[in-house]
Every structure is written in C-alpha cells, then in structure tokens.
Structure 1
Amino acid sequence: MSNPWIAIGALALVGVLIPVGMMAASYLLRPSVPEQGKSATYESGEVPTGSSTKIQFNIQYYMVALLFVVFDIETVLIFPWTVVYRDVVANVGLAEALYPMLVFVGILVVGLAWAWRNGAVKWVRSPRASRQLDHKP
C-alpha cells in the first residue's frame, strides 16, 4: 500500500528541480561578456540613444492581455466541467450541476460588460493613423 503523498512530493520535487537545473545549466554554459549596454534599464544589449529613453506604452495592451488571461482561465475551468457534466448530472441532478457554472459564466459576462462599458475592449486608434484616414480621398 503506497502513500499518495509520495507521488505529490515527487511531483513537487521534479517541479522544483527542473527549473533550478535549467537555470544552473544556463548560468554555467552562457558566455560572460560584460559591457555598458547590458547594465542598461532594458537589458537589450543596446545603448539607449536620444533625449528620452523612456517609452510610454498604451494601457490598452495591458487591458487586452488581462482580458485574455481571464477568458483563458475561464476555458481552463469550463473544460473539465464539461468532461464530467454527464456523471455529475446523473449523481446530483441537473440544478446542482448546472447552476454553479451558470453563476461562474454570469460573473464573467458581467465583468466583460463592465470592461466593454469602460472601453477596455475598444481599440484606440493612434492620432497618426486617424490623420491618414482623414486625408484619403
């Protein structure tokens, strides 16, 4: 008779050893060429030029990424539910199987409506692109 915690412990150990091993291997195998550009803020290896090296990004990129993560997690949570749906309905009934998922999807729909109302999913056109569209015949 085996203890189920042994498998969990082994999985946790593998989950820690693989990333640590990869970081150790990359540390040992990478070339070391120190220079000024590598210590810069963006660590791209290039020395920043110009008067302003800070670039402001549109918050829209972050909002789209956040919405993607929310709906990606929704997919990850709904898929296993659909796999066991028939068995759960047979064991506990339709209401107990369906209502929690409807509440979950309803909360996500309310969140999407809020994001839509606040303009999170409306892509903002750059001023330059707007001017180019205005000048076309």
Structure 2
Amino acid sequence: MSNPWIAIGALTLVAIIIPISMIAISSLLRPTVPEQGKTAVYESGEVPTGDTRIRFNIQYYMVALLFVIFDIETVLIFPWTVIYRDAVQQFGMGQALLPMLVFIGVLVVGLAWAWRNGAVRWVKSPRATAPEQRAE
C-alpha cells in the first residue's frame, strides 16, 4: 500500500509549480513597452475630472450591511419553518422553538442597537438642510 500523503504532497507541489512557472514564462515572453497610456488610471477611455477621492456617505454601506444580515436571516428562517411541524413531533415544542427564538432575539437586539445608534437613520447633507440663498 502506498501512503496517501505522497499523493497529497505531489498535488500540492504541482499546485505550486504550475502557477509559478506560468508567471515566470509570461514575464520572460511579454513585451515591455512602457508608455504613458499604460500607467494612467483606467477611466473607461474618458478624461478624468475632479479629485479621485470621493467621500461616500457611510449610510449606503450601513443600509447594505443591514440588508445582507436580514436577508440571510430570512434564508435561515425559511428552512426552519418548513421542518417546524416535524421537529415539534420529534423533539417537542421547547427544543424546536427555543433556538429560533434565541436567533430572532439576537437579531432584534442587533436591530435595536443599530436603530439607537442611528445606523438606519438617513443623514441629510449640509446642502440639503441649509436654507436656499437667492442671488438678487
């Protein structure tokens, strides 16, 4: 009998050697023609305007993160609802219902914390809240 670790070691060696050899061969064969277009920031062929550092409102990320969390919650709750009746018959009401109540409780506490800290409150820009100044 042969040792299974020999096959694992051989596959690991092949997985390391092939990418390294491909990188080495491509670096030897590729043309090296430095030009200004290759070093420029890619902007879809458009001339860049303004500063490249744009400040995004963190609320976009907070809303997206909360959406992902509660979207995953529904993905986890749906299979539980499908097997709930069988789980109650097999394990009893307490063992079937308690884990899901704890799960939903943790999510409610998280939502309450996010709500209290203003994560779901949309922040208006200073320009939107400032009174309009008319040129006379």
TM-score, scaled relative to structure 1 = 0.64
- Kindly report the root-mean-square deviation, in angstroms, between the aligned alpha carbons of the 2 structures: 2.4
Kept in 2, the 8 Å contact 1:64–1:120? The answer is yes
What are structure 1's unaligned runs of at least 5 residues?
A: 1-34
Indicate how the Cα distance of structure 1 residues 123 and 86 shifts in structure 2: closer, same or farther if over 3 A, else same: same
2:134 corresponds to 1:128 = no
Question: For 1:115 and 1:37, how far apart are their aligned partners in 2?
Answer: 45
Structure 1 runs, 4 residues or longer, greater than 4 Å off: none
Q: Which of these two proteins has the greater Rg computed from alpha carbons?
A: 2
Amino acid at match of 1:40: V
Question: For 2:119 and 2:104, how far apart are their aligned partners in 1?
Answer: 19
Indicate how the Cα distance of structure 1 residues 85 and 61 shifts in structure 2: closer, same or farther if over 3 A, else same: same
Secondary structure of residue in 2 paired with 1:81: helix
Partner of 1:89: 88
Counting matched residue pairs gives 98
Structure 1 segment 101-120 matched on structure 2, within 5 A: 101-120=100-119
Tell me the percent identity: 70
Secondary structure of residue in 2 paired with 1:122: coil
Indicate how the Cα distance of structure 1 residues 118 and 44 shifts in structure 2: closer, same or farther if over 3 A, else same: farther
Question: For 1:46 and 1:38, how far apart are their aligned partners in 2?
Answer: 15
Question: For 1:94 and 1:44, how far apart are their aligned partners in 2?
Answer: 59
| Alpha-carbon shift at residue 37 of structure 1 (Å) | 8.7
Indicate how the Cα distance of structure 1 residues 74 and 46 shifts in structure 2: closer, same or farther if over 3 A, else same: same
| Alpha-carbon shift at residue 129 of structure 1 (Å) | 1.6
Question: For 1:38 and 1:95, how far apart are their aligned partners in 2?
Answer: 64
Report 1 or 2 for greater relative contact order, CA contacts < 8 Å, sequence distance ≥ 6: 2
Amino acid at match of 1:61: Y
| Alpha-carbon shift at residue 38 of structure 1 (Å) | 9.5
Q: List per-residue Cα deviations over 1:37-57 (Å, max 9, x = no partner).
A: 99526x54423113x221010
Structure 1 segment 1-137 matched on structure 2, within 5 A: 36=37, 40=41, 43-50=43-50, 52-131=51-130
Indicate how the Cα distance of structure 1 residues 90 and 132 shifts in structure 2: closer, same or farther if over 3 A, else same: farther
Question: For 1:70 and 1:40, how far apart are their aligned partners in 2?
Answer: 35
